[in-house]
Structure 1
Amino acid sequence: MRLTWAQPEDLVPAELAALREQGAAESDLAPIQRRWADAGGSIALAPSGASAESAAPELRVLARAVLEELQALHAPSVDEPDEWSDIVALLPAAVAPADASVAFTRVHGAWLGRSAGCLLGKPVEKIPRSGIEQIARATGNWPIRTYFTAVGLPDEIARRWPWNRRSAPTSLIENINGMPEDDDLNFPILALDLLETHGKNLTTEHVAEAWLGALPAGRVFTAERAAYRNILDARPVPDTATHHNPFREWIGALIRADVHGWAHPSDVRAAAASAWTDARLSHTRNGIYGEMWAAALCSASLVARSADEALDAADTVVPPASRLAAAVRLGRETGRSLTGGLLTVDSALDTLHEAFEGMHWVHTLNNAALAACALQAYGDDFGAAIAFAVAGGWDTDSVGATVGSVVGGLLGADGIDEAWTAPLKDRIATSMPGGTERSIRELAERTLRLSAGMS
C-alpha cells in the first residue's frame, strides 16, 4: 500500500529539509544524509507525499533509525519559540480591541469568501504556476476571472496538466453544485463546534479528542496525519507535533485559523492565543505562527476598514525576527510594488518564487507571503485577490481560501460578485459528523452568536 505523508522512507528527506530550514548545522546533517543515500534512500522530497514504490523492509528499518537520529538534532530557537509565554515576550504590547459591533454580512462574507477561494483553487491543486496559466489562457480565462472549466481545453494541455483527480468532478464551473468537501472547510466547521462547546476553556487536548471523533485519518494530510499517528501512539502534547513530523512548519495549521479569528473580532491577541492552542497539536515555530497570523487577519477583517489595516493588526502577533515575519514583509512589499506599478503580476510572482525556490508547495512561509501579497495588492477586489492567490501555483485551494476569507470579511457578502457565490448554493459538503452538508448562512449565524458569547 502506498501511504502518503507517513512512510518512514519519505519522512527522511522531508526531515532533512525541515532541519535545514530551521538552521541545523550541515556538519550534523551531511553524514546522516550520506549514509541514507548510500543505502539507497532518496533525498528528494516527494511532492505529493509518497515515493512511487514502498521501500524494501531493510530500508524502512534504516529509515526509522535515521529519523531517531534526526530527532535528536531538534533544538529550540530564541527568535522562534513554541510556548505561548515565550512568544508573547517577543511581541509588541497588545492593543485593546475596538468596541465595534460586527455586521452579519461581514461574517457571512467571510464564510462565502473562504468557500469560493478554496473552490477556485481545487481543480488546479498540485499544478504549478505555468500549468495554471496555460489552462486559463487556453480556455479564455486569463487573467483568471471565474472558476476553471474543461470546456474548450485542448487535449494536449489537458494531458500535460491533468486536473486534480479528486476535485475535477466537483470543482469546474460546468459541474459545481455547492461547495464540495475539502479539509479547508472541514477544519473551520470542526473549530466552530469546538469553540461552541468549550469557548475560552478550549485546550489542545480537546482539539485532539475532536480529531479522533470527527476526522477520518485519510482526510487529514502532512502535519495533521503525523500528529494523528502520534495521538494514537499516546504521545503527549507537544510531542504530537514534533515526533517524526517533518511537516511541522507546513500550511496545515494556517488553514485551521479562521473561526479562531472570527470568534474574537478585533481582538487579534485573543484570536492568536486561541489559534496557538489549536496549532501546537501538530505544528511548531512558523507553523504555529502561521495559524496565529491567519487568525489575527480573520479577526481584524470583520471590523477593519481596509486590508492594510487588517495586515497591520496581524503583524502584531508574529514574532518579529521569525522567518514568517520576514515572509509576510516580503509579500506586503511585493504587493505595494505591484499596486504602485513597479511590478507586473508576472514579475511579482517571479519575486516570490525566487525568494522561496526549492520550498515545498504546501509550506507555510511561501504561501503566507503569497497571501500577504494578494491582500496588500487586491484587498478591495475579491475576484482579483483570489485569482492572484491561485495563480501563484502553490497550495492553490488553501491560500485561495485564506485570501477569500479575509477579503470576504472586509467586503461583506454583498461585496462579492454573485458569479463567485451563486454556484455555492449556500451549501458546504463535509465529512464531519452531523450530516453531509452545512448551510453557509447557518454557519455564519452560529459564528456571529459565538463571537458575541466570547466577548
Structure 2
Amino acid sequence: MRITWVQPEDLLPHELAASRDEGRDVGPLAERWAAAGGDLTPPVSGASPAPASPALRALAVELLDAADALPAPAAAGEPDDLAALRATWPATWSLPTTVAYDRLHGAWLGRAAGCLLGKPVEKIPRHGIREILVATGRWPLRDWFTARGLPAEVAARWPWNRRSAPTSLAENIDGMPEDDDLNFALLALRVLETHGRDFTSADVAQAWLDWLPGGRVFTAERVAYRNLLLGLAPPATARRHNPFREWIGAQIRTDVYGWVNPGRPDRAAELAWRDATVSHVRAGAYGAVWVAAMAAAATVATGVDEVLDAGEAVLPPASRFAATVREARALGASTDDWETVLDELYARHGHLHWVHVRNNAALVAAALAYGRGDLERSICAVVSGGWDTDSTGATVGAVTGALAGASGLPERWVAPLRNRLASSIAGFDGIGFDELATRTAALAEPPPAAPADPHPAAGPGSGVGPGSGVGSASEAAGGVR
C-alpha cells in the first residue's frame, strides 16, 4: 500500500516546486536528488508508483530538512503574520450585520450542491470533463454528471473519482455524501460551539485529533496531522516537510467563520487565520481569509460584487494572491464566453498543481464574477473549469447559495440533497442542512430571528432536521468518540 501525501520521496519533488515558486534556490538540492536516481516530477495524485529504496528515502528526508532550512523567501507584500495582515484592512465596513436564517440555510445548501456537482470529476482535467459532457449530451454543463450513455472508451480515458462516483452521479445521488469540503465546515462549527470565538490554533489542531479521521485529510492537512502526531504544535505543524503549505486546503475550511460574522469580513478573517495556520502559510492562509471574508459578506450582501470586494479587502494588496483574484475577477466579468476566460486562466496558471491555491482561487473569482450571483451558472462554470472541482464548486456554491437564500435556490439543485449530510465526524452523520443552519444562526452575531418556514428540502422519510436528535448541539459540546 502506498500512503499518499506523506512519503519523503513523494514530498521532495513537490517541495522543490514549492520552493521555486517562493523564489528560493533549490538547484543544488534538485541536482543531488536527480544524481541519486530520484524523480523530479511531482506525483499528481500524491504517491509515486513504487516505494523508494531505503537509501533514496533517507536522502529525501535529508533534502527535505535542507529545504526547510533555506532562508525564508522575501516577505515584501506577502506577510506571514496576522498583525501585518490586519494592518492592511479597512477601519470600517459598510455591510449590514443582520442576517436572516434563510441566507444561512442557503449557504449550507449551496456549498453542498456545488461540492456534489464537482465530486465525480475531481482530478480530471478540463478537456477530459468536456469530453465526458459532450459524449453524454450534457455540454455545456447544466446538470449533474452521469455515466449513462458514456462510451466505454471515454470512461476508460477519464475514469471518475473512484471515491465519489458511486454516490455523486445523477443516477446514484441520495443525499449529500461525505466530503472533506463539508467535514471541515462541520469541524469549524464544532470548534465554535465548544470554544467560542476565542478559540486558538491549538484548539483547531486538537479538534482534528479528537474528531477527524486521519484518512479523511489530504495534502497539507495530512502533513500537519502527521506533524501533530510527531509532537509539533501550530504553527510549526505547517512548516515541517510541508510542500503543500500554499495549496487549497485551508481555503476550503473557513466558510462557517464568515457565516457567524455577517457583515464583518475582518472578524471572519481573523478566525480563519487561526484555523489556517495549523497547516498553511502565506497564500495558503490568504485563501482561507479570502473565503471567510466573502462568506461574511455573502449572507448580507445584495450582489456578488459586494462579496468579491469584501474578499479582496482582507488580502495583502501587493501579494501575488491578491493580484491573481483581481485579474481573474476582471476576466470573468468581461465576457459571456466562459471558454475564453478559461483559456486565459490556464495560460496564466496552468503550470500549477491542480490542488494549488492560486489557480483554484482564480477560477473561483472568475466564476463568481461570470455567474453574477446565479448558483447554477456559477457552479457549472467553475466545475467545468477543472482543477479541484469539488472544492471550488463548494466555495462558489456557498457564496451564491447565501446570496439567494434557501428559498431562492432551484429545487433541482436542492432536492437530491434530501436534507441529509453523511460524515465520519461523530455526531454529524445524517444531519440536516436546516439543523446546521439553526446551529450556525445560534452562533451568529447578532443572531437572526428564528426561522418562520425552513426550505422544504427534506426527502420523504429522511428523519432528520430540527428536533430529530441527529447531530445536536449537546453532542457537539460533549462529544461521542
TM-score by length of 1: 0.96
Aligned ranges 1:195-274 → 2 under 5 Å: 195-274=192-271
Matched, 1:345 2:338: yes
Which residue does the alignment assign to 1:58? 55
What does residue 452 of structure 1 align with?
445
Is 1:83–2:81 an aligned residue pair? yes
Do the aligned residues in 1 keep the contact of 2:367 with 2:379 (CA within 8 Å)?
yes
Which SS does the other structure have where 2:431 is aligned? Answer: strand
Partner SS, residue 437 of structure 1: coil
Is residue 2:160 matched to residue 1:167?
A: no
CA contact (8 A) 2:98 2:446 kept: no
Distance in 2 of aligned mates of 1:198 and 1:34: 48
Q: Is the 8 A contact 2:421 2:433 kept in 1?
A: yes
Q: Which runs of structure 2 are paired with 1:131-170 in the superposition (5 Å)? A: 131-170=128-167
Deviation at 1:454, TM superposition (A): 7.8
Q: Which residue of 2 aligns with 1:402?
A: 395
Taking the aligned partners of 2:112 and 2:442, their CA distance within structure 1 comes to 20
Mapped contact 1:97–1:267 kept (Cα < 8 A): no
Alignment correspondent of 1:436: 429
Q: 1:23-422 to 2 correspondence within 5 Å?
A: 23-25=23-25, 29-76=26-73, 77-89=75-87, 91-96=88-93, 98-339=95-336, 344-422=337-415
- Quote the Cα distance in structure 1 between the aligned partners of 2:253 and 2:341: 27
Deviation at 1:433, TM superposition (A): 1.0
Q: Percent identity?
A: 55
Paired with 1:395 and 1:435, the residues of 2 have a C-alpha distance of 25
**Alpha-carbon deviation of 1:53?**
0.6
Partner letter of residue 360 of structure 2? N
Deviation at residue 313 of structure 1 after TM alignment: 1.1
Q: What do residues 356-393 of structure 1 show as CA deviations (whole Å, max 9, x unaligned)?
A: 12100011100000000011110321111001110111
Q: CA deviation at 1:78?
A: 2.8
Letter in 1 for 2:137: G
The one-letter amino acid of 1:6's match is: V
Is the Cα contact below 8 Å between 1:127 and 1:161 reproduced in 2?
yes
Cα offset, 1:435, TM superposition: 4.7
Give the aligned partner of residue 452 of structure 2.
Answer: none
Could you tell me whether the CA contact under 8 Å between 2:99 and 2:447 is conserved in 1? no
Residue 99 (structure 1) shift: 4.3
Deviation at 1:140, TM superposition (A): 1.5
- Is the 2:95–2:301 contact (alpha carbons within 8 Å) kept by the matching residues of 1? no
Shift of 1:100: 3.5
Letter in 2 for 1:176: I
- CA deviations over 1:382-408 (Å, ceiling 9, x no partner): 111001110111000000000000000
* Paired residues of 1:199 and 1:454 also in contact (CA < 8 A): no
Displacement of 1:83 after TM fit?
1.1
Amino acid at match of 1:84: L
CA-CA distance at 1:299 after TM superposition: 0.5
Which amino acid is 1:24 matched to? Answer: R
Residues 265-284 of structure 1: CA deviation (Å, up to 9, x unaligned) = 11000000000010000000
Whichever residue aligns with residue 81 of structure 2, its letter is E
CA offset at residue 216 of structure 1?
Answer: 0.9
Tell me, which stretches of 5 or more residues in structure 2 are unaligned? 449-481
Partner of 1:22: 22
Segments of 4+ in structure 1 off by > 4 A?
none
Q: Deviations over 1:258-310 (max 9, x none)?
A: 00110101100000000001000000000000000000011000011100111
Q: Structure 1 residues 74 and 115, CA, compared in 2 at 3 Å: closer, same or farther?
A: farther
Of residues 303-312 and 435-444 in structure 1, the stretch that sits farther from structure 2 once superposed is: 435-444
Q: Give the Cα–Cα distance (whole angstroms) in 1 for the partners of residues 350 and 428 of structure 2.
A: 42
Equivalent in the alignment of 2:4: 4
Q: Which residue of 1 aligns with 2:470?
A: none
Superposed CA offset, 1:302-360 (max 9, x none):
01110011101111100011111011012111112224xxxx21111010011012100
Contact 1:191 1:259 in 2 (8 A): yes
Amino acid at match of 2:164: S
Code of the aligned partner of 1:360: H
Alpha-carbon contact 1:94-1:269 (below 8 Å) kept: no
Amino acid of the residue matched to residue 213 of structure 1? D
- CA-atom RMSD in angstroms: 1.3
How many angstroms apart in 1 are the aligned matches of 2:447 and 2:97? 14
Question: What SS does the aligned partner of 1:429 have?
Answer: coil
- After TM superposition, give the deviation of residue 123 of structure 1 in Å: 0.4
Q: Deviations over 1:208-267 (max 9, x none)?
A: 100000111111000000000111111122110011000000000000010011010110
